[in-house]
């Protein structure tokens, strides 16, 4: 059974409270930036449940974001409250993850990763070719369906909740089983762990969280197209954030998301560098792999360990 740490609860509640009150003391531009970072935290921490804790590197997570976004943008014009579409989008993303999980999780190593790339691209092609999704042109949300402050609070609270869920899972028996699968899947199965069922379960959980973020994405931007939510570059960025921050940890994906969120804002403000985003991200990944394989979190821990300690001398 997972124990909830009092300091952890206090920290999460303090962060949630500060973010909920942010619209009352921060300007709109800063709130937009915080919203983008919160989305990045949700995506990175959700992926880390599968890729970090279970060691299954999936490069198709944009499919779950797109399913959540399209669920909202398709149902909202038909009388659905956008808020009510969020859990349905999460459910559909989770169901889709199960459907693709059972066959793909029988593959191991790079074969699984390649399969997820194929699934992600297949979803994008289908969404671009059918009429009910608006094809390549996409769809717009109905007028009057946007309240930025409510959307901001929902996204930031979701980010805090996902980090908390990640912490709880990593310390639970479920998390220990995922760690066993990551370390040696054959040994874990020899001890009675059903690795396929375990991976499908954590895949469904992380997909549901990303699906929720997709619905909020659609509400915030009021427009969804296959190119914006099923983009391969988005899937790649989702993978890079936790790896750069510190894969398999709770704080690492958050650090990676903050760094990538900041970089994305800088790139958007510099049009000449916008098309170089993957080159910059790739260079950052290479630097981390060469000099600090444990990511930014490993670097922070190493610097703190080198900090001189005070020596108390009794008089």
Within-domain flag for 278: no
Within-domain flag for 280: no
Within-domain flag for 199: yes
Q: Count how many domains the chain has.
A: 1
Q: Alpha-carbon Rg of the chain, whole angstroms?
A: 20
Q: Tokens 């991200």 correspond to what residue?
A: 281
Within-domain flag for 115: yes
Q: Which of 74, 89, 88, 57 shows the shortest CA–CA distance to 238?
A: 57
Beta bridge partners of residue 140, listed in sequence order? 223
- The model carries a pTM of 0.91
Within-domain flag for 220: yes
Q: What is the pLDDT along the chain (315 residues), one digit of tens a residue?
A: 455 567 777 777 888 888 888 888 889 889 999 999 999 999 999 999 999 999 999 999 999 999 999 999 999 998 899 999 999 999 999 999 999 999 999 888 889 999 999 999 999 999 999 988 888 889 999 887 788 999 999 999 999 999 999 999 999 999 999 999 999 998 998 888 889 999 999 999 999 999 999 999 999 999 999 988 998 889 999 999 999 999 999 999 999 999 888 888 777 677 766 667 777 777 888 888 788 788 888 888 887 877 766 555 454
Q: How many Å apart are CA 118 and CA 17, to the nearest integer?
A: 41
Within-domain flag for 53: yes
Within-domain flag for 178: yes
Widest distance between CA atoms in the chain: 82
Q: How many Å apart are CA 245 and CA 250, to the nearest integer?
A: 10
End-to-end CA distance of the chain: 47
Q: How many residues does the chain have?
A: 315
What does the pLDDT read at residue 79? 84
What does the pLDDT read at residue 286? 84
Q: What is the 3-state secondary structure (H, E, C) of the chain?
A: CCCCCHHHHHHHHHHHHHHHHHHHCCCHHHHHHHHHHHHHHHHHHHHHHHHCCCCCCCCCCHHHHHHHHHHHHHHHHHCCCHHHHHHHHHHHHHHHHHHHHHHHCCCCCHHHHHHHHHHHHHHHHHHHHCCCCCHHHCEECCCCCCCHHHHHHHHHHHHHHHHHHHHHHHHCHHHHHHHHHHHCHHHHHHCCCCHHHHHHHHHHHHHHHHHHHHHHHHHHHCEECHHHHCCHHHHHHHHHHHHHHCCCCCHHHHHHHHHHHHHHHHHHCCHHHHCCHHHHHHHHHHHHHHHCCCHHHHHHHHHHHHCCCCCCCCC
Domain carrying residue 46: 6-231
């Amino acid at each position: 059974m997972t124990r909830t740490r009092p300091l952890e609860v206090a920290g999460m509640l303090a962060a949630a409270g500060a973010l909920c009150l942010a619209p009352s003391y921060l300007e709109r531009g800063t709130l937009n930036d915080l919203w983008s970072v919160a989305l990045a935290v949700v995506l990175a921490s959700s992926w880390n449940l599968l890729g970090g804790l279970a060691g299954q590197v999936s490069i198709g997570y944009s499919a779950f974001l797109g399913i959540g976004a399209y669920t909202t943008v398709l149902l909202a014009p038909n009388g659905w409250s956008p808020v009510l579409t969020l859990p349905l989008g999460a459910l559909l993303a989770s169901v889709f993850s199960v459907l693709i999980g059972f066959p793909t999780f029988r593959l191991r190593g790079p074969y699984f990763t390649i399969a997820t790339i194929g699934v992600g691209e297949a979803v994008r092609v289908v969404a671009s070719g059918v009429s009910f999704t608006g094809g390549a042109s996409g769809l717009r949300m109905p007028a009057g369906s946007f309240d930025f402050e409510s959307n901001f609070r929902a996204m930031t609270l979701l980010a805090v909740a996902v980090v908390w869920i990640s912490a709880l899972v990593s310390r639970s028996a479920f998390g220990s089983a995922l760690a066993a699968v990551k370390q040696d899947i054959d040994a874990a199965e020899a001890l009675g762990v059903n690795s396929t069922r375990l991976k499908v379960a954590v895949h469904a959980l992380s997909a549901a969280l990303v699906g929720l973020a997709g619905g909020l994405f659609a509400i915030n931007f009021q427009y969804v197209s296959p190119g914006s939510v099923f983009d391969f570059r988005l899937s790649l960025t989702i993978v890079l954030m936790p790896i750069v921050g510190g894969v398999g940890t709770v704080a690492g994906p958050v650090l990676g998301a903050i760094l990538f969120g900041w970089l994305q804002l800088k790139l958007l403000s510099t049009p000449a560098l916008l098309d170089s985003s993957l080159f910059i991200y790739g260079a950052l990944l290479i630097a981390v792999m060469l000099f600090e394989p444990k990511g930014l979190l490993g670097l922070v821990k190493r610097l703190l360990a080198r900090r001189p300690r005070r020596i108390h001398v009794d008089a």
